Amino acid sequence: MRQVLDLTFVKPLSRHFQIDRRLDDGGHFVPAHYERLHSSLGCLAYGGDFFEDYLQNEYYRALAIKLPKVRGEGPHVIRWDSWRLWESFASGCVTVMLDFEEYGFRLPVIPMNGVHYVGLKFDRLADTVEFMVAHQERLLAIGEVGRTWALEHYSPKAVATRFIDEIAKVYGQINPAALPPTH
């Protein structure tokens, strides 16, 4: 995914914005990475791979190969989220990601394009570049709203609460105070 968008999105974007491609020794788990992320206008947080439904091909169906079922027309994007996505949201810079709704990405709570992040649509990449160039102040606001959204819905406490609520739907009410202590 990143290579395709480097050719089709980042190249035109780089005519208007400085793109930081530095890699830190130690990957992204170093203070310099977080400092740059926090001080950046945005982060290109997309990732993943394209996946095609090979079972549409009669040859593969005849082989009776076990492949995951795919809904809708392809190709599809799999493994679309990454640490970069969540680090970007948490840092407060604007997160640039494939459009969740357009590409059917599923999360318990979906962010809204243009409110919590800037969503990319492959058939309208030039529109996104134009939007980002024309609305740089709005990008700052989207970054902050995205940070608030991520902390509200995906902080450890929010995820744990959602998990307990889902378990309670299956097994009945759970009293968190009655759970054994963790160490």
What is the three-state SS of the chain?
CHHHHHHHHHHHHCCCCCCCCCCCCCCCCCHHHHHHHHHCCEEECCCCEEECCHHHCHHHHHCCCCCCCCCCCCCEEECCCCHHHHHHHHHCCEEEEECHHHHCCCCCCCCCECCCEEEECHHHHHHHHHHHHHCHHHHHHHHHHHHHHHHHHHCHHHHHHHHHHHHHHHHCCCCHHHCCCCC
Q: How many domains does the chain have?
A: 1
Q: Give the pLDDT confidence of 115-153 residue by residue, as tens digits.
A: 999 999 989 999 999 999 999 999 999 999 999 999 999
What range defines the domain where residue 95 resides? 2-47+82-176
Q: What is the pTM of this model?
A: 0.78
- Averaged confidence pLDDT in the chain: 85
Q: Examine residue 137 and state whether it is found in any structural domain, yes or no.
A: yes
Q: Give the pLDDT confidence of 154-169 residue by residue, as tens digits.
A: 999 999 999 988 888 8
Q: With a cut of 90, say whether residue 90 has pLDDT above it.
A: yes
Q: With a cut of 90, say whether residue 41 has pLDDT above it.
A: yes
Q: Examine residue 70 and state whether it is found in any structural domain, yes or no.
A: no
Q: Examine residue 86 and state whether it is found in any structural domain, yes or no.
A: yes
Q: Examine residue 76 and state whether it is found in any structural domain, yes or no.
A: no
Q: Examine residue 182 and state whether it is found in any structural domain, yes or no.
A: no
Q: Examine residue 131 and state whether it is found in any structural domain, yes or no.
A: yes
